[in-house]
Amino acid sequence: MAAGPALWLGPLLLVSLWGSSAPASLLRRLREQIQRFQESSVLSLSLDTGAAALPKEGWLEQPLDPFNASDKRSFLQRYWINDQHWASQDGPVFLHLGGEGSLGPGSVMKGHPAALAPALRALVIGLEHRFYGLSIPAGGLTMAQLRFLSSRHALADVVSARLALSRLLNVSSSSPWVCFGGSYAGSLAAWARLKFPHLLFAAVASSAPVRAVLDFSSYNEVVSRSLTSAAIGGSPECRAAASSAFAEVEQRLRAGGAVRAALRAELGACASLGRAENRVELLEALQALVGGAVQYDGQAGAPLSVRQLCGLLLEGRSNGSRPDPYHGLRRAAQVVMHSLGQKCLSFSRAETLAQLRVTEPQVSGVGDRQWLYQTCTEFGFYVTCEDPTCPFSQLPALPSQLELCEQVFGLSTSSIAQAVAQTNSYYGGQTPGATHVLFVNGDTDPWHVLSVTQALGPSVSALLIPGASHCFDMAPERPSDSPSLHLGRQSIFQQLQTWLKLAKETPVRAGV
């Protein structure tokens, strides 16, 4: 175990200070906001109960290039340990994998897998992803360095950490290791079990988009459908109001002059809207705003739920006056900007490019440059709205998003498409072929269409939770959680009990 920085609160406190970013990253900032909110409540509770309840921070020295034994360069990878409930050396180990952002102590303190640890007497470890948070190798984020950033490198880190921590913590060779992760990290959890079944006994993959896709138009198809769902506060009228609001935005953009200038001020666009590329930035940000309300619906720390968004878009109906969807969208933008601590909803394309070209690690730990690189070289995931049935603006096109890969990294569209195909070929897409994997999704979450939502056999289970949003099953429990979410979490617990019973009958004795 190597020594490392001790100021782990830094990324949590400073993330909101970086407001200049690509509009497409608004969803990532919403996720950071939710994570920070939930983590702060966890830390407050831990501090109230005493320092003994706080998790332990550690650092592993990992090879920068695990696929080249002659390359001796290394970096420090951060991890967290919660051993409060670990009853014996041969007890289960829950390995919570970090994804495309900073991983804090809350990852091993609240929400699953931490909530499952007391009953199952498990050791909980959180492993931050290379090149994110504080686990950034020396040399920064240059292209020469970023070639060591990929899901395959991350899986090599998982293997190395699993072996090193087994020795360091004196974990028994018969202890079953279970990987957990949400979103991209959920995919990593499933892939870790797929590629290294002799080291990792099982995996719980929440909201895991295991199928890479270049044009992710189905994202907005789910957003559109979720806006009509009465179960979460939507309605057909809400969807129609959203469509009307976007139509008015486009009409005002076309009008130019004073009308366009007023639109800029009203919607929080910091850049002049005279350039087409800046108009695209604004429309992408507005779509991300609505998408974010759906993707993180009902979660603690989210600035807008579907119910609240629809209330704004349809304001006026209850008192008999005519609703003004554009005014509602404007108010929604103000709510989100205030919540994220941003003065603008969108910036100029030039400023977006300038930020993405910065090769020095950012204090925030949000990792926009790193994640763009991974989408350009592995996953795609570019949300579009070019289908005529899409309720939002159809102006932001796929070429506009692909241009970022060319302008920031010099990567061509053909190379991106090839990388997406290779990812699906290597991991198996939505039929990965792994065993002892539970895929958990919510049907409100737009990402569930890229995951596994039906069982692929007796050893690959799937759980689709009605009305649940992105990674909602991983969040700390609240009294307001829906009955379906409660049942979903019970199903996860029961599946783990079954696996751990099986592990006792067939002990794992490999790789340590």
Residues with a catalytic annotation lie at: 183, 445, 470
197/206 Cα distance (integer angstroms): 19
Cβ atoms of 77 and 102 closer than 8 Å = no
Measure Cα distances from 132 to 24, 101, 126, 362 in Å. Answer: 18, 5, 14, 10
Task: Give the span between the Cα atoms of 118 and 108, in whole angstroms.
Answer: 12
Strand 437-442 with 93-97, pairing: unpaired
Q: CA 46, CA 49: separation in Å to the nearest integer?
A: 5
Count how many Cα atoms sit within 13 Å of the Cα of residue 462 in the half-sphere of its side chain: 20
Strand locations in 443-490, DSSP E? 460-465
DSSP-assigned letter for residue 232: G
Burial of 493: CB neighbours in 10 Å, binned 0-12, 13-18, 19+ = middle
Encoding tokens for residue 36?
């920070």
Helix, coil or strand: residue 78: strand
Nearest to 279, CA basis, from 246, 328, 309:
246
DSSP string, 96-107: EE--SS---GGG
Alpha-carbon distance 352 to 276, whole Å?
Answer: 14
Report residue 101 CA to chain centroid gap: 8
Q: Are the beta carbons of 144 and 150 closer than 8 angstroms?
A: no
Helix (H), strand (E) at residue 380: strand 380-382
